[in-house]
């Protein structure tokens, strides 16, 4: 997997909530839909569990993009964890700019357990978006330093 020029395959970390998005990803698999292999999924019980430091740590470790996905607003298995995730991601996006990371590399999506098709589409589309942005150079420097 070349990190430069042609054939760049972005590395994307996806934090998926157990009840909606992770099930949606499972459904996409069970239904044999094509989704992006670039997405490396980490299951969390709720999108509210995603500590902003995890996202920064992912970028630091060389991720080119981070996807946080939870239940649709109002459908959270834990009542309102996704609303907390929304607050955190919006604030973190402002900080990413200061770190020199394009905020388009971080994405928050609501994907229900029934939306396997949507999960597949989001994974493909986000991968294309990150591919267009190119490798996250900053991350490499930081890791080296």
Which chain residues interact with other proteins by CB under 8 A?
A: 1, 11, 13, 19-20, 23, 26-27, 30, 40-42, 44-46, 48-54, 57-58, 61-63, 75, 77-81, 84, 88, 112-115, 117
Contact by Cβ (8 Å): 42, 33? no
DSSP string, 56-125: HHHHHTT-SEEEEEEPPTT--TTSSHHHHHHHHHHHHHHHHHHHT--GGGEEEEE--TT-HHHHHHHHHH
Q: Pick between residue 36 and residue 113 the one whose CB is nearest to other proteins.
A: 113
C-beta of 93: minimal distance to other proteins in Å?
17
C-beta of 26: minimal distance to other proteins in Å?
8
C-beta of 141: minimal distance to other proteins in Å?
16
Contacts of 78 (CB under 8 A, 6+ apart): 45, 46, 48
C-beta of 20: minimal distance to other proteins in Å?
7
Q: Pick between residue 72 and residue 104 the one whose CB is nearest to other proteins.
A: 72
Q: Pick between residue 31 and residue 34 the one whose CB is nearest to other proteins.
A: 31
Q: Pick between residue 3 and residue 104 the one whose CB is nearest to other proteins.
A: 3
C-beta of 115: minimal distance to other proteins in Å?
8
Q: Pick between residue 75 and residue 103 the one whose CB is nearest to other proteins.
A: 75
**47 closest CA partner among 81, 98, 6:** 81
* Per-residue CA distances from 33 to 21, 46, 61, 71, 117 (Å): 15, 24, 29, 20, 7
């Amino acid at each position: 997997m070349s990190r430069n020029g042609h054939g760049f395959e972005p590395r994307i970390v996806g934090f998926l909530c157990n009840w909606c998005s992770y099930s949606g990803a499972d459904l996409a698999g069970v239904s044999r839909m094509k989704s992006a292999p670039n997405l490396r999924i980490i299951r969390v019980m709720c999108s509210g569990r995603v500590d902003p430091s995890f996202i920064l740590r992912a970028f630091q470790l060389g991720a080119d993009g981070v996807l946080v996905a939870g239940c649709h607003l109002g459908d959270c298995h834990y009542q309102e964890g996704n609303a907390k995730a929304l607050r955190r991601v919006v604030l973190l996006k402002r900080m990413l700019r200061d770190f020199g990371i394009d905020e388009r590399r971080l994405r928050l999506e609501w994907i229900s357990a029934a939306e396997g098709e949507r999960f597949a589409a989001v994974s493909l589309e986000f991968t294309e978006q990150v591919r267009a942005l190119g490798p996250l150079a900053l991350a490499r420097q930081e890791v080296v330093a």
